[in-house]
Structure 1
Amino acid sequence: MLLRPLLIACLALPAFAEIYKHVDKDGQVTYSNIPIKGAKRMALDPVPDSIPAPRSHAGGSKPRASQTPTPASFPRVDSGTQKNRDQGRRQILMDEMASEQKLLADSRQRLSSAPQDAKLREKALFHEKNIEILQKEIARIN
């Protein structure tokens, strides 16, 4: 009889998966929980057990973040931990930026040999937009 509660307690432990990042020969990035040959294991912080549900506000308009006080039950992170997280996030974004810049250069080179190819033009534009978005995200961290 004592075995059953012990088994239930073990099953109730939080589950988590390791995440792997793989970049193929064309620069395509794949994230997976399954190890792939040549993939690198990502070092990620665990997700909190629970996140408080958002509260509804009277009047139908949502207050701006600067007007909304942080709830007392909201998880706190010390500045050192947050700095480490920001550095990790910045490194991931910088890696993505380098990958997108390489893909953009390749797309532009292919486009120069076939300037009328709409698919190549669309692909180059896609990488330009990705770079623009990554630059904005990196600027938010700094």
Structure 2
Amino acid sequence: MASLLAVLFTITTHAVAGIYKLVDENGHITYTNTPVKGGQKLQTNSSETRIVAKAMTRAPLTIGGFPKVTDSQQKKRDVHRRQILESELASETKHLVEIQQALNEAIKNMRSAEPHHTQLLSDTHISENENIKKLRNQISLHERNIMALRAELGNL
């Protein structure tokens, strides 16, 4: 931040030297009064220099390029985020219950069919086991999602 202020001061006091604009590979813009490789020289008349300097000083000074927001804006964002997370948690919980019911039903159906198919190990029996495996994997996924959502809610 100090370097930005130094650049601003230098720009406004040494307009004759010129202003150079450099855009890096991430799209970050840097203004300087010394020529830099890949930099674009801007016009050096004093009115344009003041416009660039004013525009640079109006931008909020932030850490890491993130925009600065007021406390009230952040509280609104947090409330909205909480609502989204709670909605997602309710949805994941509902899906978990539905998948658990489907698994219980599949296991019940498989057990009731086993005495009738003791002589045959058909593809149907294998696909039923695959179906149960898929349902258990889905349950595991929903349980992990629920834990992650609860952790995020706990961080608010």
TM-score range normalised by the length of the shorter chain: 0.3 to 0.5
Greater helix percent: which structure?
2
Could you state the TM-score of these two structures normalised by the residue count of structure 2?
0.43
Larger Rg: 2
Could you state the TM-score of these two structures normalised by the residue count of structure 1?
0.47
